[in-house]
Amino acid sequence: MKETHKQKKVNKRKNIPFNKEGFFQSSGGFTLFELTVVAAIITILALIVLPNYRQEEKQSALSRSTHKLTQDLRRAEEMAISAQKTNPELGEVFPKGGYGIYFEVNEALPRGYRIILFADCDGEGDFDSVGSFTCLEATPGPGNSCNETVEEITLEEGIVVKTLSPLSPLTITFKPPEPEVFISEGDVATITLSLKDNLAITRTITVNKAGLIE
């Protein structure tokens, strides 16, 4: 028995798939409702994961900066032990007092801190940023030195020097052959780094007069 035109239309409607909420659902796709739920779940997961990821990345940057600064201190020590000559700007001579690193914490500085690898040309165990003499000509005494800068050291973005002990500015100098270690105003130096936006998260480097850096 042939179906009438009206019966065919009814049968076609019966084959149309609907989900339990009454929304039309094609056999090979997703409903708008399902896509909305998936998008909401992805958004919630992103809100949970991204802040944690960013925080982990900042702490990784802090760890890397601490490691690099530790290596910079060891580099200054090695430069002194190996009697390395200065760069051409300082005359390619071995500085009388070896090499050292100068630290300063000061809010007036562009980064809030300053770290300088220097050649102790005048042998006084401190850092001089000005002077009219060459490294070879420099001698102890006021005004008898030169700009002893070898290299300015910077930390990764978002990392700062939080505190220096015994005080700021802090100078650590290595003089051959042992090397002898000179620490301004103390026997142990402590450099504390932190996140710029969370000063409670810190890493610490210590240097003692025996030359132990950790």
Cα separation, 60 vs 144, whole angstroms: 43
Domain of residue 175, residue span: 49-208
**HSE-up of 29 (CA within 13 Å, CB side)?**
9
What token pair was written down for 145?
């030195």
pLDDT 10s digit of each residue in the chain, 214 long?
A: 555 555 544 445 555 555 555 554 555 567 887 788 888 888 887 777 666 657 788 999 999 999 999 999 999 999 999 999 998 888 899 999 999 999 999 999 999 999 999 999 999 999 999 988 999 999 998 889 999 999 999 999 999 999 999 999 999 999 988 889 999 989 999 999 999 999 999 999 999 999 899 9
Q: What are phi and psi of 13, to 5 degrees?
A: -65, -35
Cα separation, 113 vs 108, whole angstroms: 9
Report pLDDT digits (tens) over 170-210: 999 999 888 899 999 899 999 999 999 999 999 999 999 99
Residue 15 lies in a domain: no
Residue 13 lies in a domain: no
What token pair was written down for 149?
């800068």
Residue 53 lies in a domain: yes
Q: What are phi and psi of 58, to 5 degrees?
A: -65, -40
Residue 38 lies in a domain: no
Residue 214 lies in a domain: no
Instruction: Provide the whole-model pTM.
Output: 0.76
Residue 40 lies in a domain: no
For the domain that residue 75 is a member of, what is the CATH number?
A: 3.55.40
How many domains is the chain partitioned into structurally?
1
Residue 147 lies in a domain: yes
Residue owning tokens 């610490």: 204
Residue 183 lies in a domain: yes
